[in-house]
Amino acid sequence: MRVVLQRVTSASVTVDGITVGKIADGLLILVGIAQGDSPDNAQWLANKTADLRIFEDEHGKMNLSLIDTGGSALVVSQFTLLADCHKGRRPAFTAAAEPEVADQLYQYFAESLRARGINVEQGTFAADMKVTLVNDGPVTMVIDRDS
């Protein structure tokens, strides 16, 4: 399982021109679910995401977490995070989980953040989404959790 965290001052996701999720300050979280991933992986990553100190305190140091700041999360599924680009010129997506499993773990990840008290907006699983963001910093982190 892989997440890409982007600290944002705003982010939104639209499907067919309709906004399905929108946040102000917080994190845009792209989530890729791999074959063999489990609810334990999703829970671990949700906790890491909620507690990771990547927001600045009053001294400009990254000492505050999403929970500390009261920020929101926009969670978007993105199987292309699992692309294998080692061979040839066309990415392979064989490491990505089957859609039914991936959707369940994507939903579980979002619910795990909500259980920590975070306001969570979501994209639409398996839809053609358009994501807009203003990256703050910019600060972008990639976190992996192997199954």
User: Catalytic pick from 55, 79, 109, 122?
Assistant: 79
- Length of the chain in terms of residues written: 147
8 Å CB contact between 122 and 76: yes
Q: Show the tokens assigned to 4.
A: 């890409």
Instruction: Identify whether the C-beta of residue 136 lies closer than 8 Å to the C-beta of residue 8.
Output: yes
Set 6, 14, 49, 78: catalytic member: 78
Q: Is 78 among the catalytic positions?
A: yes
Whole-Å CA distances, 138 to 53, 54, 109, 134: 15, 11, 24, 9
Query: Which residues are marked as active site?
Result: 78-80
